[in-house]
Amino acid sequence: MEKALSLCLQNQTPEIKGAVQSLLYTSIRYKAQVEALLGKLVKKEPHEKVKAILSIALALLLEGTEKPFTIVNQAVEAAKENPESAWSSGFINAVLRNFLRNRSQLTASFKTNLVTRYNCPAWWISKIRQDYPRHWQSILRVQNQRPPLTLRINCSRITVKDYLEKLNKSGLVGKQVGPWAVVIEPACPVSQIPGFHEGLCSVQDAGSQLVRDFLQLHDGDRVLDACAAPGGKTAQLLETYKVKVTALEIDPTRATRIDETLTRLGLEAKIVVGDASETSLLNQLGDFDAILLDAPCTASGIVRRHPDIVWSRRPEDIPLLAARQKKLLESLWEKLPLGKDLLYVVCSLFPEEGPDQIQSFLKTHPEARLKGSSLCSEGMLRLIPTDNEVDEHLPLNHDGFFYALLTKGQTK
């Protein structure tokens, strides 16, 4: 989805890009309900341009943050602007007004049908329900909400207190939700965030900011950040410690984002394009005092930021990605010196990618042990995105993540 947006909007201003992304994401968040409504409101499949306009308009009407007559009028005008849909302006007007007149009747079944209630595929609902029998409804509700605009304050440059004052002077309201995390309410374009371009802060979910709570580093340590793009965790380590970081990323395009992130923040790291599971490459990089593996995963914990995930993923993706994670973990563990730590992170809710992955690894590696941290004495932490905060020691309003800190000891 991000690649498609970047390609289609590459010559547009940041404001236009943000507006288009917002419309697209809203239409995806209400995808199941919109498709159900179109089945009732339209007798035959409409032209793709017409369907796109109707889908966005219906999603906005369902969301209810804008006045209905404004949405209908803008949809009609949008149809008139495009020669391929100009003929349908009257049709679009009639369909949308029909929905507004009969909304209660048309949406009556939404709450009893789980797919339309939570706007995601049946298999996804079943999976979340199976894995989280106590919290599944809350998780599914939260994943369809707009995410907060959360910042990571660069405390090597400014304190959280001083940054909150800076926000206030700019007419923005900020709330501290973690040691270095601040949420701006309401959200604003990145271009309007005070100090962003000067490197005083970065956009990063509060749940993603816990790396420094797990990895206790020392000046001069050499750290490998495997699968490092877009560079948020690399930057976080460099803001906190005087360490030397090698940022390894398999995708050349995504590797450029690491460089952009570090340049904006005035930080430096060695950026290497390559596969973190290749032993020959790892041997060329030398030894490290700590390894961070932010492994590729289903991204099931960050659906509210990327709502297309629930529709693009398939059940068979889970074992495939778990196998990739295992391969990365095995290769990097072999590279880790005795007495050093490896932090495993995924932005996934699925156990196969988190606790199950680590427990399986521990069974086959007697020299591996979980290591407690200031956040959790057990060495493993699951962050569940719900609308009920479950732990006062964790940041508020976070996405879904799994952390495991492993240390390499002597074989028993």
Structural domains of the chain, ranges and CATH numbers in brackets: 2-119 (1.10.940.10), 149-203 (3.30.70.1170), 208-408 (3.40.50.150)
Identify the pLDDT of residue 10: 80
Is residue 233 marked as binding?
yes
pTM metric for this prediction: 0.94
Torsion of CA 115, 121, 122, 128, to 10 degrees: -100
Q: In the predicted model, what is the mean pLDDT of residues 376-380?
A: 91
Identify the pLDDT of residue 2: 73
Confidence of residue 389 (pLDDT cuts 50, 70, 90): low
Cα–Cα distance between 36 and 49 in angstroms, integer? 18
- Least confidently predicted of 67-81, 240-254, 366-380, 389-403: 389-403
> Residue 393 pLDDT > 60, yes or no?
no
> Residue 394 pLDDT > 70, yes or no?
no
Is residue 231 marked as binding?
yes
In percent, the amount of the chain with pLDDT more than 90 equals: 88
Q: At what angle do helices 252-265 and 232-240 cross, to 10 degrees?
A: 30
Is residue 232 marked as binding?
yes
Q: Of 201, 297, 347, 376, which residue is the catalytic one?
A: 347
Is residue 8 marked as binding?
no
Is residue 227 marked as binding?
yes
> Residue 15 pLDDT > 90, yes or no?
no
Identify the pLDDT of residue 375: 83
Is residue 230 marked as binding?
yes
Q: In the predicted model, what is the mean pLDDT of residues 283-290?
A: 96
> Residue 392 pLDDT > 90, yes or no?
no
- Least confidently predicted of 7-16, 103-112, 169-178: 7-16
Active site residue 120: no
Confidence of residue 13 (pLDDT cuts 50, 70, 90): confident
